[in-house]
Structure 1
C-alpha cells in the first residue's frame, strides 16, 4: 500500500499562494522541501507545474492533467490522484520508492489528497498573508504531531516551524 504524504508551507491563515506564486521567499523552507522530496515520487496539479515551470531534478515528477502534451516537458501525466498512486505502485522507476508519493500542490489536489494522507510535512509560517490559494483545515483529522522545529528567519523577519504530522500515532 502506498504512503501518501503532503508537503506544504502555509501561513497562519492557511494561505499557500497568491497570483500563482508563494507570498514569501524563505530559503530555509526551499532547502527543507528539497531534503524531504529528493529521490522521491512527487505529484502536483497542472497549475502548480506551470508555476514551477520545469520538472524538479532528482525526483519522479507526476502531473495530474488532461493536457497530455505536458509529457513533452519531461513529466509523467496522469488524469487523477488514484492513477498517480497506481503508477507509482505498478510501474516503479529505478531509484524511486514504489510505496511513497508526495503531493506538492496545489489547493485542489491538497483537498483531494488530505483524507487519504498518512503524513503531513508542514512549514508553518507564523504570520498571516493575503492570498487566493489555501491549504485545507486538517486540524480535526486524526493526525498527531511527530516532530517540530522552531526557527526564525532574519531574511524575512518572521518565525516559522517545520512540523511532521503522522496519521493516528506519534
Structure 2
C-alpha cells in the first residue's frame, strides 16, 4: 500500500526553503504514529530537513548526490536511489508493506497515480511558502475519517487530520 503523509496550509502550500514553515507538535506526533515501523520515501531536501535518521523507520531517499549514496551504502536503515524507475522497481517487491511517501512535491508528483491512502493535515492558516502540494484528484478518493482540533497552548494553529482512501 502506498500512502501519502503531509501537512499543508489553507492554500495547499507545504514548505518554505526546504523546511516546514510551521511548528505544530500535534502533527509531528501524528506523523510519528503513522510512520513508525514503516518505509518512508522522500527526496533529498526532505531528508536534509530531518535532525538525523528517524527511529523505527527505513529511509528511502531519491537523490543523485553521490556523497549521500556513499555515506549510507552500508546502513541497513537507509537506501538511496538515483532514478525514479529504480525506486519504483524496488517498491514493487514490497507487496504487503505500507510505503509512506512523505515529500517533497516532486516525489508526491511521481506517485500521485499510484497512491492508495492520503493522510493530510490541513492547517488553518496561510504561511509564507515556496512549495505546494501537487494537485490530486480528490474525486478518486473517499474521505474516511476527519478529526478537527483547535489551537491550544502547544499548537498555535487550528488543524484537521484527514484520511482518504482511493475508491475501488
1:116 to 2:114 alignment:
yes
After TM superposition, give the deviation of residue 51 of structure 1 in Å.
Answer: 1.6
CA contact (8 A) 2:24 2:156 kept: no
The range that moved more, 117-126 or 69-78, is: 69-78
**TM-score, reference length from structure 1:** 0.86
Question: C-alpha displacement at 1:85, in angstroms?
Answer: 4.1
- 1:69 aligned to 2:67? yes
**Which runs of structure 2 are paired with 1:1-170 in the superposition (5 Å)?**
3-71=1-69, 72-73=71-72, 74=75, 75-90=78-93, 98-154=96-152, 155-168=154-167
Report the count of equivalent residues: 162
Asked if the contact 1:65/1:77 (under 8 Å) is kept, the reply is yes
- For the residue of structure 2 that corresponds to 1:122, the secondary structure is strand
Structure 1: unaligned runs, 5 residues or longer:
none
Whole-angstrom distance in 2 between the partners of 1:62 and 1:146: 28
The 1:70/1:25 distance shift into structure 2, 3 A limit, reads same
| CA distance in 1 between partners of 2:91 and 2:109 (Å) | 20
CA 140–149 in structure 1, closer or farther in 2 if over 3 Å, else same: closer
- Coordinate RMSD, CA, aligned: 1.9
**What do residues 83-111 of structure 1 show as CA deviations (whole Å, max 9, x unaligned)?**
33433453x6xxxx853211111011111
Checking the alignment, whether the CA contact within 8 Å between 2:146 and 2:163 is kept in structure 1 is: yes
